[in-house]
Amino acid sequence: MKDPLFEPITIKNLTIKNRIYLPAMHLAMAKDFKVTDRMVDFYAERARGGAGMIVVGNATVDEVSGFALAMGAHSDEFIPGLTRLAGAIKDNGARAAVQINHSGRYSHSALMGGKRPVAPSAIASTLTKEVPDELDIEGIRKTIEAFAAAAARVKICGYDAVEVLNGTGYLISEFLSPVTNKRVDEYGGSLENRMRFGLEVMRAVRKALGPDYPVIARMDNNDFMEGGMRGEELGEYAKRLVGECGVDALCVKGSWHEARVPQLTTNVPPGTYAYLARKIKLQVSVPVIASHRINDPDLARELIRDGYCDMVAMGRSLIADPQLPEKARTGREKEIVHCIGCAQGCFDNLFKLKPVECMCNPMAGHEKDRAIERAGQTRKVMVIGGGPAGMSAALAARAKGHEVSLYEQAGRLGGQLFLAALPPGRGEFARLAQDLATRVSLQDIEVHLNTTVDEALLDSRRPDAVILATGAKPLKPPVPGIDLPHVVQAWDVLADRAATGENVVVIGGGAVGVETALFLAEKGTLPAEALKFLLVNKAESFETLYELATRGSKNVTLIEMLDQVGKDIGISTKWVMMQDLRRAGIKVRVKTRALEITQSTVKVQTGDKVEEIKADSVVIAAGAVPVSELAKVLERKNIDFKIAGDAGRIALAFDAVHQGHEVGRMI
């Protein structure tokens, strides 16, 4: 049977070798709108990895359509860099395209040298809070011309196709949506009028490129905004794009950036939003590309076979593993490192105005500066600790050519990644643990499980160098009553080593506290299979099903001394988890200190007020402390050693993987 993922496909007159489409992703790697070496290296690596088509961008069409960390296509001065990037992609075996876009009200004057953002109407977004200027008719005309000129510039640079972003809450979709378009002229009001700007842009792009050059539109089929655009209207828009504007393919996704429905975080089941592509595919005759959380070749094949789409957009999947396509093509799928939707290195970095990186792949965005060169002399390296830091360190040290042995006191590799996987919607963290463990097993790395390293073992092994990645242990704060039998640690609750009662107080509102509260609140909710059964049989009302899905059997209170919970949770994920706290009915108490734990309550203080909260069980989530006692032994024995991960400083899984890689490659 032929593999549908590796069947060629044609868009217009362009043949693409497989069905894997790397969609445009803002990388924040440009400098003053210009292509950089870092960007070229990033995309060249993904082309070598076997992607069929790579779309770069999004690229600006004028001076107020984005900011300087984005690629520029609004001036001829950017042609040399764009041309170089096209060559790097095509020379390494992939087709190349550029996505052009205008950010509209998502732009901000502070990032554009004081230039004002523009939009169809003067309505601020919830992201920027800045009210944009309303485009007048002359401004609309000039913007349409700018799209066409940028597209023509892309063609000159040697790209195989142009993609125009028609969704995500950017300018074209702002004209489409009644949420952001309150105009009373020919560009506002009825659906026909609201579609006018986007259709005029696409006609102008087609005219500028000629009849034979491939044009792709990336669009939503549900913007998930209250009062926004849904499938019926957007389906009509899709048909008009193809029938009237000559669009040759549609890349279909969902959601605006400010919508409150998660799209890319780890709690989104992989492939969930492919249904949006399927609805469009039934209405048009051109290839349709499905998008969002497609992170595995088998899932991609299933979507193509089942008629959801003709191609699959795998963006962050190829950040996590640029070799994913080639591994799938050559039967090495067990070697793939999957994107788990953590957003710690991609989206979280963008909010910090930092270039994209990846928790799962410390080489992403560092293809040259973190390249591993073989060591001049082979050393005997002992890695102590088999969590993410230890495995990453062992892999890097082995890649340098060292003789590596890895020691883990538990019965499996993965460490705290398995704890991180236990709260609802976080299961994919276990997949990263498994992916890293598989990579270790495929290298010539000696693995010792159920082994505690002590001075005697160090003496018998006599390593030349040691990497200490022994992780952390829970912190036990000095609260009176903390040794009572109904007081347990969050790690034990997550691992099902401790039972809890009906009324639970969680002390500590950091990431672990939030995750534990959500884990406890999930107890007693109806599982997905049961909900589907009741839904399709119309056994209960929607309201009842919603309550069964969100309200469990425990009353959970989360207390935190600081002014907010989840301060150590990345911004891309935090809003999702805060929304889940509210949905689950968890009582959140900030600026609240635990004074004492009694047999049946927790005495707390908020400001000047002291009160007692009923508690059958108390869960401590007060943080962690490094486990690094072996460092003193190593110092005394004068053994060269480095520390990675929580053993040095408590941080995120992202930091553990990256520190491990850096320590390993420096041995």
Consecutive 10-residue averages of pLDDT for the chain (667 residues): 95 98 97 98 98 97 96 98 98 98 97 96 96 98 98 98 98 98 98 98 98 98 96 97 98 95 94 98 98 97 98 98 98 97 94 95 97 95 98 98 98 97 95 98 97 96 98 96 98 96 98 98 96 97 97 97 95 95 97 98 97 98 96 96 96 96 96
Based on the number of CB atoms within 10 Å of its own CB, is 210 exposed (0-12), middle (13-18) or buried (19 or more)? Answer: exposed
In angstroms, rounded to a whole number, what is the distance separating the alpha carbons of residues 566 and 515? Answer: 9
Q: pLDDT at position 423, please?
A: 95
Which tokens belong to 388? 């993410």
- How would you label 536-547 residue by residue, b for 16+ Cβ within 10 Å and e otherwise? eeeeeeeeebee
Distance CA 9, CA 312 (A): 12
> What was the pLDDT predicted at 89?
98
Does residue 499 sit in helix, strand or coil? Answer: coil
Verify cis geometry, omega within 30 degrees of 0, for the bond prior to 58: yes
Tell me what pLDDT residue 1 has: 78
**Gap between the Cα atoms of 626 and 648, Å rounded:** 6
Map residue 388 onto helix, strand or coil: helix
Give how far the C-alpha of residue 288 lies from the chain's centroid of Cα atoms, to the nearest Å: 23
Distances (CA, A) of 51 to 20, 45, 218, 492: 5, 10, 18, 43
Specify whether the CB–CB gap between 656 and 388 falls below 8 A: yes
Structure pTM? 0.96
Q: What class is the 4-351 domain?
A: alpha beta
Round to whole Å and give the CA distance between 438 and 459: 29
Domains 4-351 and 380-474+625-666 share a fold: no
The CATH number for 380-474+625-666, chosen from 3.40.190.80, 3.30.70.600, 3.40.50.720, 3.10.20.600, is 3.40.50.720
pLDDT of residue 592: 98
How many residues appear in the chain?
667
CB 27 within 8 A of CB 346: no
Cα separation, 667 vs 71, whole angstroms: 37
What DSSP string runs through 61-85? SSTTSS-TTSEE-SSGGGHHHHHHH
Cα–Cα nearest to 262, from 251, 273, 252:
273
Tell me the pairing of strands 601-606 and 592-597: antiparallel
Dihedral sign, CA of 289, 295, 301, 306? negative
Strands of 492-544 (E only): list them.
Answer: 503-507
Contact 479, 505 (CB under 8 A): no
Residue 417: name the closest of 396, 451, 388 by CA: 388
DSSP classification of residue 333: G
Q: Where are the domains of the chain?
A: 4-351, 380-474+625-666, 487-622
Give Cα separations from 161 to 46, 51, 82, 657 (angstroms). 18, 15, 13, 37
Question: What is the rounded distance in angstroms from the CA atom of residue 346 to the CA atom of residue 570?
Answer: 11
Helix or strand run (H / E) with residue 279: helix 274-281
Residue 488 CB: number of other CB atoms within 10 A? Answer: 18
Cα 487 from Cα 98, distance rounded (Å): 57
Helix (H, G, I), strand (E, B) or coil at 595: strand
pLDDT given for residue 549 in this prediction: 97
Any idea which residue has 């593999």 for tokens? 3
At 497 the three-state DSSP class reads: coil
CB 280 within 8 A of CB 221: yes
In the CATH scheme, what architecture does the domain 487-622 have? 3-Layer(bba) Sandwich (3.50)
Helix %, strand %, coil % for the chain, to 5? 35, 20, 45
Q: From CA 112, how far away is CA 3, in angstroms rounded?
A: 47
